[in-house]
Amino acid sequence: MNEIQLRIPAKSENELFARNTVAAFALPLNPSLSELSDIKTAVSEAVTNCIVHGYAGQEGWIEIVCRIEGECLHIQISDSGKGIADLEQALTPFYTTLPGEERSGMGFTIMQTFMSTFSVQSRAGAGTVVTMSKDFGARAEANAQ
């Protein structure tokens, strides 16, 4: 078991650092280039959500906890922002609360598709916690069959 905890201000300039740090942490799992890209994209989506939706441009902190257990990478990304009032709607592909801002509404769909497991917990006013994991090696192959 190995673990890292990151606490970063909700600024878009930290997205690059966040996704590359999580990808670097995952290296002992011998990820393929495609798997590394999946992890970076999923992390970038979750961190973007914290900045754009959770804190909506206001200051705040994003917490990222990563854990390797066996051949699995667990990632939890949380904010203490405004939360999501209607989770079911938020998880609908192409749904966005900011249609005027060129948002694709694909963030959660990409996290769900690129990771092995995905869940989100949120309440209006109570922040958001995204929990996801990705299997590697024999475990990933077993899931693919």
Partner 1 sequence: MKIQENRNGENLYIYLTGELDEHSVCAVREQTDRLIDENAGLSRAVFNLAGIKFMDSTGIGFLIGRYKKLQKYGMTMYLENPNAGADKILALSGVYSLMPKL
Active site (catalytic) residues: 45, 49, 103
Q: How far apart are CA 54 and CA 69, in angstroms?
A: 29
Q: Binding string, 34-73, against partner 1, x = CB under 8 A?
A: x--xx-xx--xx--x--xx---------------------
* Chain-centre distance for alpha carbon 41: 8
Report whether 81 contacts 63 (CB < 8 A): no
Report whether 18 contacts 8 (CB < 8 A): yes
Other beta carbons within 10 angstroms of residue 124's beta carbon come to 9
Does position 107 bind partner 1 by CB under 8 A? yes
Q: Which one of the spans 69-77, 81-89, 109-117, 137-145 is the region binding partner 1 (CB under 8 A)?
A: 109-117
Residues that bind partner 1 in the complex, under the rule CB under 8 A: 12-13, 15-16, 19, 33-34, 37-38, 40-41, 44-45, 48, 51-52, 101-107, 109-110, 113-114
